Amino acid sequence: MAEPYLGNAKSTAEILRKYDFVFQKRFGQNFLIDPHVLEKIVRAAAVTKEDLVIEIGPGIGTLTQYLARDACEVLAVEIDKKLIPILQETLAPWDNVTVINEDILKMDLESVLREKGEGKLVRIVANLPYYITTPIIMELLEKKLPIHSITVMIQKEVAERILAEPGTPEYGALSLAVRYYASAEIKANVPKNCFMPRPNVDSTVITLTRNERPSVDVRDEGLLFSIIKASFNQRRKTLVNGIKNAAFLPFGREEVEKAIVECGLPLTVRGEALSLNQFAELSDALSRQYSIKDRAE
């Protein structure tokens, strides 16, 4: 099996020059040029020869080479068609890599996993563009695909939001959503000088390991997330006002206040103070009220 040869400034610059490649700001392209960081990502993802790895945004194939060395098979999903000829060259020595020129958010990942993932542990690995980090993470979690883990390089600030605790400024809907579907662990912090071109912010490698089942039981998952959304839409408002004012929720002040009291919370509480368990209790209390109201009508 070939050994990775990309992962430093010299080889990266050479291949980019050869293809006269111009970085696309709209794709948030920042290529890793530090082999120590690349090894850390592969270790964080715990890739083995039993695994199917889906890499999002392979770029010029730097991380892909390291993944191909350790995985059974790698599917590299790249949105920028200008990178495909480069990937065809840099990944030619690895016969266990398939390059797919698609947008991961529009791709039928479920069909791909049915075809390729049988009998394998599926791991997602990515150096994600900062502008689309949250939509990609949420898409992967919400679809409930048979994915074991998601190891991603993301903006340090986003990693802090994912791991934030109730009552902190970083805590929000993303913290709660990730906690519902997965357990999260920071694996490494990566300074900006490990990339070409150098981004404006530092990065963090984080691994999300899918829960076998959601971390809380709730009567209505959709209602839970609607309540969470309403609670953080206007962060400084009380929970009562946040839920009552949400056009996408059917509850009036009296119903919301009754549910909050039932959960043993003060009426002045804000959403940022509630844990996931408390949001689940509140969602169930409101769901029960709505069911009773429907039956009465």
Mind listing the pLDDT tens digit for each residue in 260-283? 999 999 999 999 999 999 999 999
- Which backbone phi and psi does 152 adopt, to 5 degrees? -135, 145
Mind listing the pLDDT tens digit for each residue in 154-173? 999 999 999 999 999 999 99
Q: Which helix (H) or strand (E) holds 255?
A: helix 253-262
Kindly report the CATH number that applies to the domain delimited by 9-210.
3.40.50.150
Of the candidates 131, 173, 121, the one whose C-alpha atom is nearest the C-alpha of residue 151 is 121
Mind listing the pLDDT tens digit for each residue in 24-76? 777 778 899 999 999 999 999 999 999 999 999 999 999 999 999 999 999 99
Residues of the chain with CATH 1.10.8.100: 221-296
Mean pLDDT lowest among 128-142, 209-223, 235-249, 252-266: 128-142
Residue type, 57: G
Place of tokens 């969602």: 283
Instruction: Please answer whether residues 211 and 182 qualify as being in contact, where contact means their C-beta atoms are separated by less than 8 angstroms.
Output: yes
**Residue 30, SS3 per DSSP:** coil
Residues of the chain with CATH 3.40.50.150: 9-210
Mind listing the pLDDT tens digit for each residue in 66-98? 999 999 999 999 999 999 999 999 999 999 999
What CATH homologous superfamily does 221-296 map to?
A: rRNA adenine dimethylase, C-terminal domain (1.10.8.100)
